[in-house]
Amino acid sequence: MKTAVVTGGASGIGLEFVKLLISDNYKVYVVDNSQENLSKLSSIVNSENFESILQDLSKTDSPEKLYKILKNKNVDVLINNAGFGTFGKFHKTDWKIEKDMINLHVLNTTHLTKLFLKDMVKKNEGKILNIASVAAFQPGPLMSLYYATKAYILHFTEAISNEVKDKNICISVLCPGQTKTNFQKNVSTKKNKIKFNTACPIKVAKYGYESLKRNVTVSVPGFWNNFIIFLGRLLPRSTSTNLVRYIQEKNRD
């Protein structure tokens, strides 16, 4: 039986990846920072082909700790799905939360990828899927660091995918738009719900998973998400930035 690791795998898109991998007969190691969500997995997944690992991947020592647990499991697939966002003007937002976001999206996604990719290169086989966002393609006022860190994930993944193109390894990045998950709750209030172009996590995960299996480097699910990216390439940068801010403000009412 092949093995897979899914970070942020106890809810949202990550949970849907876990289900897809189990249906493909993978043993899945589900990593999450919520003991409550991990405890619910048995009743949701209805399979014995997974193990739960409680780990806060925003801590700088977490990649080494996780790798130490899993390095002898011969991991075939790594899905770096864990992530979160914050909303507000940069000078007003909480630095501690933003620092954790940078650690999670940039430092620790990179470190986990490096640790597991080395093993995949040795055996000349493996797949890595990093989760970015349609936000990765433009600046994002009111969610500036989220957009910036997702841009890093996109460019980083494209670059290392090119580096291993001569090997039997696929490194892919999924760039969804707004998806109906806990992410939406975390960046919204009861007054300010994100309503624009909201997708189903089941469909988003399936799209990303099928793209990974087809060795697609960058996958963007949904017509509107692709249209937004295309439009952003045509517009001046200042106009694109203003448009993003308008959407952020007007779709929170």
pLDDT tens-digit readout, 100-156 = 999 999 999 999 999 999 999 999 999 999 999 999 999 999 999 999 999 999 999
Q: Is 161 helix (H, G, I), strand (E, B) or coil?
A: helix
Record the pTM: 0.91
> Which tokens go with 243?
């448009």
Pairing outcome for strands 50-54 and 75-80: unpaired
Question: Are the CB atoms for 171 and 182 separated by under 8 Å?
Answer: no
Q: What is the mean pLDDT of residues 46-67?
A: 96
Question: Are the CB atoms for 103 and 59 separated by under 8 Å?
Answer: yes
The β-bridge partners of 28 are: 4, 50
- E strand or H helix that includes residue 52: strand 50-54
- E strand or H helix that includes residue 244: helix 237-250
The length of the chain in residues reads: 253
- Confidence (pLDDT) at 192: 46
pLDDT tens-digit readout, 232-251 = 888 898 998 998 898 888 76
The string of DSSP letters for 117-149 reads HHHHHHHT-EEEEEE--GGGGS--TTSHHHHHH
Distances, alpha carbon 102 to alpha carbons 4, 42, 57, 73, 161, in Å: 24, 31, 11, 28, 22
Nearest-angstrom CA–CA distance, 225 and 236: 18
Q: Which domains does the chain have, with CATH numbers?
A: 2-250 (3.40.50.720)
CA angle 215, 79, 29 (to 5 degrees): 130
pLDDT tens-digit readout, 156-182 = 999 999 999 999 999 999 999 888 765
- Whether 203 shows a pLDDT value over 80: the answer reads yes
- Three-state SS string over 207-241 comes to HHHHHHHCCCCEECCCHHHHHHHHHHHHCCHHHHH
